[in-house]
Amino acid sequence: MMKKVLVLCTGNSCRSQIAEGYLRYFAGGKATVYSAGVETHGVNPRAIATMKEDDIDISWHTSNNIEEYRTIDFDYVITVCDNAKERCPVLPSSAKQFHYNFPDPAKATGTEEEIMEQFRAVREQIKQYSREFVERHLS
């Protein structure tokens, strides 16, 4: 039976979208991966661009609210920011919960190139975390 994984962040615009993309990629057909936010801010165009640089297309992703997934019995819930961990509603499931507080690239400042460098740095952190998560929990 395929495992169900939820990645949760504040606005479901950057970190959770990047994590969803990498978890889908590394898990292949071993899991169904969702992402959501305690709010919805839309998918950040820079998140889309930085993932495209790594040949992963998340342009079709949508920004979803956690309430949309209340009826899904997740196996794993990964919070990718402290705010989401603190504000995460209790989900009606026996999901194993994981947490990693990635920096928020949407708060990056500077020139466009400096901002994209921060997106790339966070992308690489999430990529490594996602690869290791799949190896440990979905293989």
pTM over 0.85: yes
Q: Among 6, 8, 47, 81, which one carries the catalytic annotation?
A: 81
Q: What is the pLDDT of residue 86?
A: 65
Q: Among 30, 41, 49, 88, which one carries the catalytic annotation?
A: 88
Q: Is 14 a catalytic residue?
A: no
> Which residue, chain included where needed, has tokens 């500077």?
110
Q: Among 6, 9, 51, 78, which one carries the catalytic annotation?
A: 9
Q: What is the pLDDT of residue 91?
A: 62
Q: What is the pLDDT of residue 70?
A: 86
The residue among 3, 51, 6 whose CA lies nearest residue 29 is 3
Q: What is the pLDDT of residue 89?
A: 60
> Which residue, chain included where needed, has tokens 């026996």?
94
* pLDDT tens sequence for the chain (139 residues): 899 999 999 889 999 999 999 999 999 989 999 999 988 999 999 999 999 999 999 999 999 999 999 889 999 999 998 776 666 665 656 889 999 999 999 999 999 999 999 999 999 999 999 999 999 999 8
